[in-house]
Structure formats: C-alpha cells, structure tokens
Amino acid sequence: MSAWSDKFKQEAPDKKKERTRKILTVLRKAYGEIPCALHFSNPLELLVAVILSAQCTDKRVNLVTPALFKKYRAAKDYAAADPARFQEEIRSTGFYKNKAKSIINCAKGVVEKHGGKVPDQLDELVKLPGVGRKTANAVLGNAFGIPGLCVDTHMIRVNGKLGLTKNSDPVKIEFDLMKLVPEKEWTHWSNLIIHHGRVRCYARKPDCAHCSINNLCPSREDL
C-alpha cells in the first residue's frame, strides 16, 4: 500500500462524505450534466432499453431500439410479441433468448398489474420479471426524475477504487452510497460515475494522469 492510499485508510465517515461531495462537484464541472446514455422517450422505452443493455454496450442497444420502439409502442405490444420473431429483432444485443423472455414477461406484468403503465415505485418495479434494483433505479431516475443509484459494473469498479465502498454486491454498494451521496444527486452521481468509468477510469488501465479527481482517489497510480 502506498503512502498516498494510507492517507485514506482511517478516513472518518464525515470526511468520506465531504470527499464524496467534492468528487461530485469536480466531476460535474468536468463533464456537465450527463444524461442517460440510452435513448428513450418514455418510461417503457427506457425499461426495455435497460433490460437489453445487460452484457451489451449502450451504443449497440441504441442501434437496435429505434426500429423496436417504432413497432412496439405500448406494453401490450411487447406482451403480445411472437417470442421467436422478437428474439431475432434483438439478437445483436446478445443473450437475446433470455432478454426476449424478460421483456415479454415484464410487459405482461405491466399490462396485468399496472394497466399498461410502467410503475414509478421501486417496490413495484422490482416485482416485474427481469427487473432488478439496477434497472428499476435507472428507470426511476432517468424517466421519472425520482432519485436512484444505478449500480452497474462501472459503478462497482469506480466507487470501489474511490474507497467509497468495500463491497462487491451491487445492493450493498447502493446502500453504502446512500449514506454518502445526497439523495437528490443519486441519479446524477450514477450517470457521472458511469461516464467517468467509460472515458477515464478504465477497467484495465485507468488514465490516472489525466483524471480530474486523482487527488481525491486513494487508488490512483503514482503520478
């Protein structure tokens, strides 16, 4: 362990919260207000897009969804979709059989339990087939404006490097961050950290030398 990382080893909770807010301020200054990378125009479209984004790039999903959204305009349309045909329509996103099953069954749940309208409550969203907390929080935060921490692989990696969590379980990480990030900023934090993970804090070789928050990160490489 380096002398630099030692400085953060015994960081008090209030100091960690203060550092978290500084990170938020710096990242917002560096990147501005980062929107959700998935393209959508309503909660249903985002729900479908997030399910498709599992093990797939947002860029690929955004190539597939325009035709999909034009054809399937309501939850009832997805619910009535032919599974084999739908699989082919989303094949390029990978794991298309499981994704097709999740989306069709999720849509059936939206129709049967919520009258065709995507619910705006976490507890109701996670009851839908194929919807976990990550997907639910992404929909709540970006489609409904209800703050949510969307813990994906970038959030797991970057928040761990920042020393804001020691957990690897997404749900535990979410609850760790709830104590540090102001609630009104949960969605902004998620979008900023995910973006930072894509453009600077790479999984294989983080670009610490050009990182705007390297002086706030205990995992930075020697500069």
Residue the block writes with tokens 């050009």:
210
CA gap 75, 80 in Å, rounded: 9
The answer to whether residues 8 and 219 touch, using CB atoms and an 8 Å cutoff, is no
- Measure Cα distances from 198 to 83, 105, 193, 195, 206 in Å: 33, 31, 9, 5, 10
Find the catalytic residue in 152, 169, 172, 179.
152
User: Catalytic site residue 97?
Assistant: no
Please say if 123 is a catalytic residue. Answer: no
* Nearest by Cα to 18 from 29, 166, 26: 26
- d(CA 21, CA 48) in angstroms, rounded, equals 32
Count the residues in the chain: 223
* Virtual torsion, Cα 165, 167, 169, 172, nearest 10 deg: -60
Q: Which of 58, 117, 134, 184 is catalytic?
A: 134
Active site residues: 134, 152
